[in-house]
Amino acid sequence: MRKRRLGNGGLEVSAMGLGCMRLSPGHGAVAGTRQEMIALIRAAVERGINFFDTAEVYGPFVNEELVGDALAPVRDQVVIATKFGFQIDSEKDPHPAGLNSRPQYIRESVDGSLKRLNVDTIDLLYQHRVDPNVPIEDVAGTVKDLIEQGKVRHFGLSEAGAQTIRRAHAVQPVTALQSEYSLWWKRPEEEIIPTLEELGIGLVPFSPLGKGFLTGSITEKTHFDPEDNRGSFPRFSPEARKANQALVDLIAAFAAKKHATSAQIALAWLLAQKPWIVPIPGTARLQRLEENIGAVAVELTPDDLRELDAATAKIPVYGDRYPAALEQMTNR
């Protein structure tokens, strides 16, 4: 597996990571037992992936425990990223009660994550969403203190706006921004990616496969598990899925010409954008994991990229990414 460097802070990770959110309960049905998900994470390590993404709100809490147990035997070989920022009132309630990035709550969240992950230091700590009630300078200053204490190595933000990134970076250098970026969500190209390039910050795209839609495995007839949050997203309404099938078909046709899968083309396109972009597709299936890893070897020429960009630009994407309440938490 090739390596890439995130930001100017010296954090080197595999060219592709693994998003672990759906490997534990709380975001839809899990495609296997806990032991099977641990085995999948370890299989990713065996195949060269060393970058794993979790968060305290996934579950909540149980995902960090899963990732910690899975990676304990290889702790010195991997990079673990987790996140704080949602107010969680109860382990039994999977729905966070708003945002909370007050300094004391950050410290409490980090101490909890360290225990659940069974680590001495968190390699990359993200603010999950920007809290409008807490100045970003206070957040960055708190993480800076945690870095000085040895509890955290690198600071990250998620779905933050350009000015917030600049303000945070001035207090504590930001190593990586995690935000959605894919062939059906290119808005980061307008302002975010130029800002990251200027400041020397890496980009970790989540949902690089459009939450599974770009693979072609989801159609207008797909029924989501009641706990699967995709079922509540406007972009995943049956009408939007039907309208957006044109983009899926286009990617599939291009993939056929390149003797690759749709997922591999979507991931290879991301990898070709910048050398400091590291996508974190999530999967609970070994076959899909190996397919995704295969994208690292897919070479897209400048002509390929121009063709893909020109063709996808002609296809409008229907439906908002999130319900209004969630969308308001982005690009702050």
**CA distance linking residue 332 with residue 130, whole number of Å:** 6
**What token pair was written down for 192?**
């975010």
**CA distance linking residue 192 with residue 147, whole number of Å:** 25
37: left (phi over 0), alpha (psi -120 to 50) or beta: alpha
Q: Is 58 one of the catalytic residues?
A: yes
Residue type, 252: A
**CA distance linking residue 268 with residue 279, whole number of Å:** 10
Count of C-beta atoms within a 10 Å radius of residue 111: 12
Q: Which of 58, 105, 126, 181 is catalytic?
A: 58
Query: What is the helix (H) or strand (E) element at residue 117, kind and residue range?
Result: helix 103-117
Collapse the DSSP code of 21 into the 3-class scheme (helix H, G, I; strand E, B; otherwise coil) and give the result. helix
| Cis, bond preceding 94 (omega within 30 deg of 0) | no
Name which of 256, 269, 257 is nearest 295 in CA terms: 269
**What token pair was written down for 214?**
């770009």
Length of the chain: 332
The CA–CA distances, whole Å, from 98 to 161, 254, 258, 324, 331 equal: 19, 42, 45, 14, 16
Residue 325 contacts by C-beta under 8 Å, 6 or more apart in sequence?
A: none
| Burial bucket for residue 322 (CB in 10 Å: 0-12, 13-18, 19+) | middle
**CA distance linking residue 126 with residue 196, whole number of Å:** 15
Active site residues: 58
